[in-house]
Each structure stands twice: as C-alpha cells, then as structure tokens.
Amino acid sequence: MKKLRIAIIGVGNIGNLHAGYLATGEIKHAELVAFCDTNPQKLALAKAKYGEHYHFYGSDEDVLADPDVDAVIIATPHYAHPTIAIQALNAHKHVLSEKPAGVYTKKVNEALETAKAHPDLVYALMYNQRMNPVYQKAKELVSTGMIGELRRTNWIITDWYRSQSYYDSGSWRATWAGEGGGVLLNQDPHQLDLWQWICGMPQRIMGFAYFGKRREVEVETEVTAYAEYANGATGVFVTTTTETPGTNRFEIVGSRGKIVIEDRKLSFWQNTVDERDWNKNFTGGFGSPEVWKIDIPVDFDGETGHAKVVQNFVDHILFDEVLVSPASDGVYGLSISNAIYLSAWEHRWVDLPIDEDLFLTHLEAQIAHSKIKTNDDQLLDTAHTY
C-alpha cells in the first residue's frame, strides 16, 4: 500500500515534536523523508538526532522540488505559513500547516485561493485540539440544540505562563516583524478556533490588548475581548502569558443549559424547560426551571492531538476520510484575533468580517517600528506546553 512521503519545513521546537512521532513510525501509511530549515545548525542537530538517511534541505525551493516528497508540514515562524503553503501547492505538494494559518487574513485568503486552483491537493491546519473528545462533545451539544439558543460564552485562558527567558529564546519571538503578534497569535489560535468552531462566529468585537505589559516585548501579553453575536448572545475572552497560577475555564450558556469545561473535564446542566418557554408561561414571580446535572460520557484526552491531526491528514489523502481541520477554517479564528488587534489600535468596535486592507495598514505600521533582536535561537523543551 502506498505511503505518504512527508517533509518537515522548519526544524525548531514544534518541528521536532512532529519529527519525533513521524520518525518512529507512529503515523500509519506515512513516512518522514526530509527536513528543511534555513538554519544549518538546526539541520545538523536533526541529522544527529534522527539519522543521516533523510534528505536535508537548506531552502524551501529545494525541498519542494524533491519528487520524493508528497506532502509538507510547515512549522516555521508565522508569517511564512501561507507563503510556503502557496509555494508548496504550486509545487503540487499536499500541505499541513502549523497554527496560525498566517498573521493576517488577506494573505491566508491568497493561500486558500491557490488551494482552490489545485482541487486534487489537500491544505489542512494543525488544529490539534479539535481531536480532543471533550471539545468534540461540546460542539455536538451546541450544534444539536441541547443547550438551546446560545446566550453567553466566556473563556478565561490564562495558563500560558511565559517567562522573559522564553521570549528571549528566539530572534523572531514577540516582535511585530518576526512573529506578528503575541499571546493571541502564538498561544491562543487553538482556543480562538475552538471558540468559533463550537459557538459560531461573532458579529462584532471590542478588544483591549496590552502590549509589552510585564515583559520586555513589542507585542501583546494580555488581552480582554468582548464579542456580540447576531442573535444577541455575548462572549468574553480573557488571556495572558504573565499570570500564575493560571485558569482555563470555558463556559457556554444557552436558553436550555450550560456547559463548563475546566480541570480537564466537561460538566453539563440542562433545564427541564427552555428558559424562553418558562419565561413566557410562568406567572409565579420568583422562580426558575428545574435544572438537571447530567453526566456526559466523555473523557479529556491528555495527548496533544498533533499526531491525530497528521493521521487524519494522511487518511484523508489516501482513503478519503473526513478532514477534521481544513485550512479554510483557519481564517475564522484568525479573523477574531485580527479584529481584536484592530479594535485595540482604533479604540472602537470592529465588525466581522474585518476590513483586511485596514488591518494590514496598521500591522505594517507596527512592523516599521519593530526592532531586530540579535540573540541566537534556542530549542526549548516543549513538553506539557500544548
């Protein structure tokens, strides 16, 4: 049976994570065949760690010209994600890109248009948290109407603690020119994706972003955003990399029930009567519907889910399995983060979809004042950070 031959572009922290399970044959019907990085030291480390029998390339053009490569995993700094995706698709390679899909939606949409021109190729994203049964169950409960009409969403995700030494570990980290953003773009793409994947896209955003707060960086380290949905529901998203101990609590409230995801478990309460019907018919003044606490048979998956996304990517290409994380979904969560930035910069509500050209104008202004860091990039231990 044919194997999908995969190259990893970008052999940093996350690239090595992918290489680890690919090199040991954990992904069925797939084979790691090549590494690519513009940093010769990283390639040398990969050769020493994984063996010399792989192909090693110092440029994107060279690896994409290799006829023995069927697909690439893009694990580079963020700006390059859609650019390399376009190059790979045009080179007739399947693409699995790390999150985020890009830094700004305009470039991501260019990559999506390129993908449309190559319908025989697959363009997917590493939204590994979509593989977690807890989030899958939450999506099911919302989409099937088990919580009724959406009323409120709140996500406090502050357990991303990052020290100054983390930010100093890469010349590109936490700069507008190198990374393109901070906690929203690096740590939170999974949560922003899950937020919209489960609850749908908001209609408008008011964002408050705090740049360089408590860390010597250019980008945002703390954010509070307020969202409004077309049906009148509201949402709040709170995040930071400077808080310890942190919190990870996701609440989804509807007219018929409530979901809480916290401490690696899902809790579900359901009204015996939908609040809309209760309010219409109840005449007793004080009172509320009877509420049942319902045990949901789902366990939090402690694995990162990265390997599961790759296996799904491979199985979709070879066996037409449903693709869990298509790249076309990547523009949604990125639109939310772009809207938060734009709102913070212009001190106003921002409607979705955003004005892509206006956002890019603001981003380019930030890049123009970005400072180049001279410190050497370091490979860090990323265990338990995803």
| Cβ atoms within 10 Å, residue 78 | 22
Residue 172 pLDDT: 86
- Start-to-end CA span in the chain (Å): 33
Q: How far apart are CA 76 and CA 36, in angstroms?
A: 10
251 bridge partner residues:
154, 260
Q: How far apart are CA 177 and CA 192, in angstroms?
A: 22
Q: How far apart are CA 14 and CA 78, in angstroms?
A: 12
Domains belonging to the chain, first-starting first, are 4-129+304-326 (3.40.50.720), 130-303+333-368 (3.30.360.10)
pLDDT per position as a tens digit, 158-175: 999 999 999 998 888 999
Q: How far apart are CA 171 and CA 96, in angstroms?
A: 25
Residue 302 pLDDT: 81
Q: How far apart are CA 213 and CA 219, in angstroms?
A: 9
- Whole-prediction pTM: 0.94
Residue 379 pLDDT: 57
Supply φ then ψ for residue 186, to 5 degrees.
-100, -55
Collapse the DSSP code of 264 into the 3-class scheme (helix H, G, I; strand E, B; otherwise coil) and give the result: coil
Per-residue pLDDT of the chain (386 residues; tens, 9 = 90+): 589 999 999 999 999 999 999 999 999 999 999 999 999 999 999 999 999 999 999 999 999 999 999 999 999 999 999 999 999 999 999 999 999 999 999 999 999 999 999 999 999 999 999 999 999 999 999 999 999 999 999 999 999 999 999 999 888 899 999 999 999 999 999 999 999 999 999 999 999 999 999 999 999 999 999 999 999 999 999 999 999 999 999 999 999 999 999 999 999 999 999 999 999 999 999 999 999 999 999 998 888 899 999 999 999 999 999 999 999 999 999 999 999 999 999 999 999 999 999 999 999 999 999 987 766 666 555 555 55
Residue 23 pLDDT: 97
pLDDT per position as a tens digit, 341-376: 999 999 999 999 999 999 999 999 999 999 877 666
Q: How far apart are CA 313 and CA 320, in angstroms?
A: 9
What H or E segment, with its residue span, contains residue 50?
helix 40-50
Is the alpha carbon torsion for 194, 196, 197, 199 positive or negative?
positive
Collapse the DSSP code of 283 into the 3-class scheme (helix H, G, I; strand E, B; otherwise coil) and give the result: coil
Q: How far apart are CA 337 and CA 47, in angstroms?
A: 37
| Cβ atoms within 10 Å, residue 381 | 7
Residue 378 pLDDT: 60
Instruction: Answer yes or no: are the C-beta atoms of 48 and 21 closer than 8 Å.
Output: no
Supply φ then ψ for residue 112, to 5 degrees.
-65, -35
Residue 1 pLDDT: 55
Residue 373 pLDDT: 74
277 bridge partner residues:
none
